[in-house]
């Protein structure tokens, strides 16, 4: 028995940014984006088409953090009640910031309390969001949660509510043409991680699995040539569609162990989210042999019948793209390796993992991915 739900309307294709005006449809809107060009130009274009926004929050930095969100929510507060819709133009950090602001009901304290105590759900607001991703990675345009970082305390939260599903995801591959190589790599690997993490997941279902297979096969095929040909719009469109499939997959499962391993590595050693998630994927794949059922069929559809050989190929794929596979490659001291692995299994996403923790830990030690006892 299973169920699948995703209420987001998806508008996909080159040049469709021009339809944003029709999607806003005369409503009073706020914009969330990054501070610099080309994003400021996109905001200007939208304003010319549809009138000025009621509020502009244009200082989003990578990995939305408590400190920054507090100031942004305070600036949004005076007009929050006038807003009919929030337009988020940017990557995961922008869309997740928009989700926090949509829920903040005039101040970050409401969201903070909810994140820290799980109390006060009824005090949060639900302003609709139009998500316009400029990266092909996070899938946040079709998920109902936002990753919120508290770097000062070394913590990471997930703000998760059904009301945070954007009303529309407007995906225009033209907006992704300017992404530099490192960002293209990290975001592509984030999408690959979402696809695979949705498969070795206790919440997987046949619909999420089909999306995951489509996503992973496409990323393995299209990401390497794209990294050598960054302005190839055909490959950009393939990656945008693959990241969407991955988003639709994990929107119903959440992520699993590779993501849980990644969070302290991003917080402590500044490794970009997608790379921090992806470098343990071969290791995780080695530990899920024997998982059975449609999960195994899906992994076989991606990697062939021998998953151990598939894990070797996945390791080669990452190495050829310049991704190190060992904790040592990221400067993580040996005494932290085991602690990060052990802690990762304790959290919710660790418990989503459908494979065997013992096998994973044994494979990690055997392959030299982690050191120490």
Ligand X SMILES: NC(=O)c1ccc[n+]([C@@H]2O[C@H](COP(=O)([O-])OP(=O)(O)OC[C@H]3O[C@@H](n4cnc5c(N)ncnc54)[C@H](O)[C@@H]3O)[C@@H](O)[C@H]2O)c1
Residues of this chain that interact with ligand X (CB under 6 A) are 34, 62-63, 90-94, 96, 134-135, 137-140, 143, 145-147, 175-176, 178-179, 183, 187, 190, 273
Of 249 and 354, which has the nearer Cβ to Fe ion?
249
b/e for 341-373, b at 16 or more Cβ within 10 A? beebbeeebbebbbbebebbbebbbeeebbbee
141 binds Fe ion (CB under 5 A): no
Of 61 and 334, which has the nearer Cβ to ligand X?
61
Q: Do 235 and 14 form a contact (C-beta atoms < 8 A)?
A: no
CB of 259 to Fe ion, least distance (A): 6
CB of 272 to Fe ion, least distance (A): 10
CB of 90 to ligand X, least distance (A): 5
Question: Using CB atoms, what's the residue nearest to ligand X?
Answer: 92
- 286 contact choice in Fe ion, ligand X, none (CB below 5 to 8 Å, kind-dependent): none
Q: Do 150 and 156 form a contact (C-beta atoms < 8 A)?
A: yes
Of 266 and 287, which has the nearer Cβ to ligand X?
266
Of 40 and 300, which has the nearer Cβ to ligand X?
40
- 147 contact choice in ligand X, Fe ion, none (CB below 5 to 8 Å, kind-dependent): ligand X
- 279 contact choice in Fe ion, ligand X, none (CB below 5 to 8 Å, kind-dependent): none
197 binds Fe ion (CB under 5 A): no
CB of 265 to Fe ion, least distance (A): 13
- 211 contact choice in ligand X, Fe ion, none (CB below 5 to 8 Å, kind-dependent): none
Name the nearest CA neighbour of 177 among 9, 11, 17: 17
The maximal CA–CA distance of the chain, rounded, in angstroms, is 61
- 188 contact choice in ligand X, Fe ion, none (CB below 5 to 8 Å, kind-dependent): none
Question: Using CB atoms, what's the residue nearest to Fe ion?
Answer: 190
CB of 305 to ligand X, least distance (A): 30
- 179 contact choice in ligand X, Fe ion, none (CB below 5 to 8 Å, kind-dependent): ligand X
Of 291 and 318, which has the nearer Cβ to ligand X?
318
Name the nearest CA neighbour of 241 among 184, 186, 177, 172: 172
Angle at 220 between CA 257 and CA 208, to 5 degrees: 55
Token pair in block for residue 139: 């899938």
241 binds Fe ion (CB under 5 A): no
190 binds Fe ion (CB under 5 A): yes
String of DSSP letters for 258-327: HHHHHHHHHHHH---HHHHHHTTHHHHHHTTTT--HHHHHHHHHHH-S-HHHHHHHHHHHHHHTT---SG
Strands (E), the chain: 9-12, 29-33, 55-57, 85-90, 129-133, 145-150, 155-160, 168-171
Of 139 and 310, which has the nearer Cβ to ligand X?
139
Kindly identify the residues of this chain, within the stretch 249-308, that bind Fe ion according to CB under 5 A: none
CB of 193 to Fe ion, least distance (A): 6
d(CA 145, CA 268): 23
Of 184 and 287, which has the nearer Cβ to ligand X?
184
Q: Do 129 and 100 form a contact (C-beta atoms < 8 A)?
A: no
- 178 contact choice in ligand X, Fe ion, none (CB below 5 to 8 Å, kind-dependent): ligand X
- 104 contact choice in ligand X, Fe ion, none (CB below 5 to 8 Å, kind-dependent): none
HSE, CB side, 13 Å, CA atoms: give it for residue 158. 15
Token pair in block for residue 143: 């998920």
Q: Do 156 and 263 form a contact (C-beta atoms < 8 A)?
A: yes
Of 173 and 310, which has the nearer Cβ to ligand X?
173
Of 190 and 336, which has the nearer Cβ to Fe ion?
190
Q: Do 47 and 53 form a contact (C-beta atoms < 8 A)?
A: yes
Q: Do 126 and 97 form a contact (C-beta atoms < 8 A)?
A: no
- 301 contact choice in ligand X, Fe ion, none (CB below 5 to 8 Å, kind-dependent): none
Chain residues binding Fe ion by CB under 5 A are 190
């Amino acid at each position: 028995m299973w169920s699948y739900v995703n209420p987001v309307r998806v508008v996909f294709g080159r040049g469709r940014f021009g339809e944003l005006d029709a999607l806003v449809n005369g409503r009073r809107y706020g914009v969330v984006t990054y501070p610099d060009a080309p994003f400021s130009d996109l905001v200007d274009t939208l304003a010319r088409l549809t009138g000025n926004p009621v509020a502009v929050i244009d200082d989003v930095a990578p990995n939305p953090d408590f400190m920054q969100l507090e100031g942004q929510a305070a600036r949004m507060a005076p007009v929050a009640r006038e807003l009919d819709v929030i337009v988020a133009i940017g990557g995961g950090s922008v869309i997740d910031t928009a989700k926090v602001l949509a829920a903040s009901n005039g101040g970050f304290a409401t969201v903070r309390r909810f994140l820290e105590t799980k109390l006060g759900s009824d005090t949060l607001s639900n302003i609709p969001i139009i998500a316009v991703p400029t990266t092909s990675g996070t899938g946040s345009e079709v998920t109902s949660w936002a990753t919120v970082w508290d770097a000062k305390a070394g913590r990471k939260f997930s703000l998760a509510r059904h009301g945070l599903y954007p009303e529309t995801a407007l995906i225009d591959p033209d907006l992704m043409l300017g992404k530099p190589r490192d960002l293209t790599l990290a975001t592509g690997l984030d999408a690959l991680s979402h696809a695979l993490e949705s498969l070795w997941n206790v919440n997987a279902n046949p619909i999420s699995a089909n999306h995951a297979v489509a996503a992973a096969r496409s990323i393995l095929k299209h990401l390497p040539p794209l990294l050598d040909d960054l302005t190839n719009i055909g490959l950009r469109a393939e990656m945008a569609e693959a990241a969407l499939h991955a988003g639709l997959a994990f929107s119903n499962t959440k992520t699993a162990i590779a993501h849980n391993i990644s969070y302290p590595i991003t917080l402590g050693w500044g490794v970009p989210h997608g790379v921090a998630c992806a470098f343990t994927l071969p290791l995780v794949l080695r530990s899920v042999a024997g998982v059975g059922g449609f999960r195994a069929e899906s992994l076989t559809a991606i990697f062939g019948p021998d998953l151990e050989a598939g894990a070797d190929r996945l390791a080669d794929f990452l190495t050829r793209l310049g991704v190190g596979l060992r904790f040592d490659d990221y400067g993580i001291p040996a005494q932290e390796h085991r602690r990060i692995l052990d802690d990762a299994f304790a959290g919710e996403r660790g418990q989503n993992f459908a494979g065997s923790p013992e096998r994973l830990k044994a494979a990690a030690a055997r392959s030299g991915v982690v050191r120490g006892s």
